[in-house]
Amino acid sequence: MFETAIAGSLPKPAWLAETGKLWPKWQAEGTALDQAKLDATLLWIKCQEDAGLSVIGDGEQSRQHFVHGFLERVAGIDFEHKVEMGIRNDRYKAMVPQVVAPLSLISRVHGAEARFLRAHTTRKIKFTLPGPMTIVDTVADRFYGDRVKMAFAFAELLNQEALALQAEGVDIIQFDEPAFNVYMAEAADWGVKALERAAQGLRCTTAVHICYGYGIQANIDWKKSLGDEWRQYEQILPALAASAIKQVSLECIHSHVPAELMALLKGKDVMVGVIDVADERVETPEEVADTIGRALQFVPRQHLIACTNCGLAPMPRAVAEAKLAALAAGARLADERLAAAAG
C-alpha cells in the first residue's frame, strides 16, 4: 500500500481561531486556549485516521503560523517592534519580528503537542518545523548581518527541538523550506547545508517540504509569472539528493512542475503532491490515482508517498476533510490499479 500523509497544516475550527486566514487570531486565551488547541488536534487526528491516512500530523493546530510558532520560543527576537518586510524575494509584505541579540531557545517549542499526538494515535506521526532558510526569510535581522550565519544559528535551535521531538516518539521530522523555490542558487549553496545542520544526529526519518506556497492571491499571481514550465526544483533537487535528508515533499497535481524532475531524487522517498491546496474543488480518487500513476514513471513505488501539495490551513474545514478522504481513496485506487496490472 502507498503511504499517505499531509504536508502539514489543516484548517483551525472556528471555535479555535479565525477561519480562512493564514495568520488567524485565536478565539481564546491562557489555559482555555491551550485546551482548545489540543481539542482541535484530537479532532484532526481522528479525521486523518478515519480518512485512512497512514502518517498522522497535528495539523499545526497549536501555532498561528508555521514560522512564527517556532520563533515565539526563541530568545533574541523582539516581537514588540515588528517591521514590514518584503518576503520570498518581495512577493509579499509581512509584519515580521526582529532578531536583536544572539539566538537561543527559551523552552521546548512543541513538546506538549508532540506528546499529545504520540499518545492519541498508534500510526506513524510526523512533525513539521520551519527550515532555517525560510525562517531567515521571514524575520528582520538587526544583529547577525549575514543570512548564512543567522540561518546556521537557527539551524542549531531547530536541531535541539528536533532531537527532543525524536525522543518523544516522533517518526518523521519535516522541515518546511518554501524559500528553496525562490532562492535556488543559495538553497543549493548553503540552504541544504543549513537544513542538514538542523537534522544532524537524527535517527528518525527526516523530510523537507518545498512548495509554491498556499493558494493565496500573492502566490497565485507569482505562479502566473513563472511561465508554462516551472523548473525551480531542477536547481535544488541534486543538492537534496546528495544530502542526508530522506524524504522530499513536492507539488505535483495542477502544478506546472515537469514530472520528470522527480527523477533527480533517486534514492529518496518522494512525497508527491496529489491534492491541490489552491482549489476548493475536491479531487476524485481517479484524479489522485492518475497523478500517482504519472509520478510512478519517475519514482519507484516503494519510494512514493501520496501527499498534499502544501498545507490545507486556509481552506474551509469541510473541504479539507473531503480532500483527506480523496487522498486516501486515490492512493487505494492507485494500489488496486497496480495489482490489476500485475495480474
Binding site for Zn ion (CB under 5 A): 211, 310
Q: Pick between residue 310 and residue 334 the one whose CB is nearest to Zn ion.
A: 310
Alpha carbon distance 104, 54 (integer Å): 35
Whether 288 contacts 296, CB under 8 Å: no
**What is the nearest approach in angstroms of Zn ion to the Cβ of residue 25?**
22
Of 236 and 310, the one with the shorter C-beta distance to Zn ion is: 310
**CB of residue 211 to Zn ion, shortest distance in Å:** 3
- For helices 285-295 and 317-342, what crossing angle results, to 10°? 60
When the beta carbons of 77 and 295 are compared against Zn ion, the nearer one is 295
Round to whole Å and give the CA distance between 214 and 218: 9
| Identity of residue 200 | Q
Cβ at position 243, least distance to Zn ion in Å: 19
State the nearest-atom distance from the C-beta of 7 to Zn ion, in Å.
6
Q: Which is nearer to Zn ion, 275 or 289 (CB)?
A: 275
* Count of C-beta atoms within a 10 Å radius of residue 102: 10
Rounded least distance, CB 312 to Zn ion, Å? 10
Q: Which is nearer to Zn ion, 271 or 310 (CB)?
A: 310
Q: Is the Cβ–Cβ distance between 162 and 114 less than 8 Å?
A: no
Q: How far is the CB of 103 from Zn ion (least distance, A)?
A: 24
Q: Which is nearer to Zn ion, 36 or 271 (CB)?
A: 271
User: Taking CA 116 as the corner, what is the angle to CA 112 and CA 117, rounded to the nearest 5 degrees?
Assistant: 120
* Block residue for cell numbers 501539495: 309
Q: How near is the Cβ of 78 to Zn ion at its closest, in Å?
A: 27
The residue type found at 33 is: L
Question: Closer CB to Zn ion, residue 211 or residue 299?
Answer: 211
Contact assessment for residue 159 and residue 201, using Cβ atoms and an 8 Å cutoff: yes
Q: Is residue 165 within 8 Å of 199, Cβ to Cβ?
A: no
Of residues 275 and 328, the one with the C-beta less far from Zn ion: 275
The C-alpha atoms of residue 34 and residue 251 are separated, in whole angstroms, by 33
Query: Closest separation between CB of residue 176 and Zn ion, Å?
Result: 6
Owner of C-alpha cell 514513471: 297
CB of 275 to Zn ion, least distance (A): 12
Q: Which residues pair with 156 in a beta bridge?
A: none
Check: CB of residue 241 under 8 Å from CB of residue 261. no
Report the 10 Å Cβ neighbour count for 326: 20
The DSSP element (H or E) to which 217 belongs, if any, is helix 217-224
> Quick one: which H or E segment has residue 304?
strand 304-308
User: Which is nearer to Zn ion, 98 or 219 (by Cβ)?
Assistant: 219
Mention every residue, 6+ apart, whose C-beta is less than 8 A from residue 11.
19, 312, 313, 314, 315, 316, 317, 320
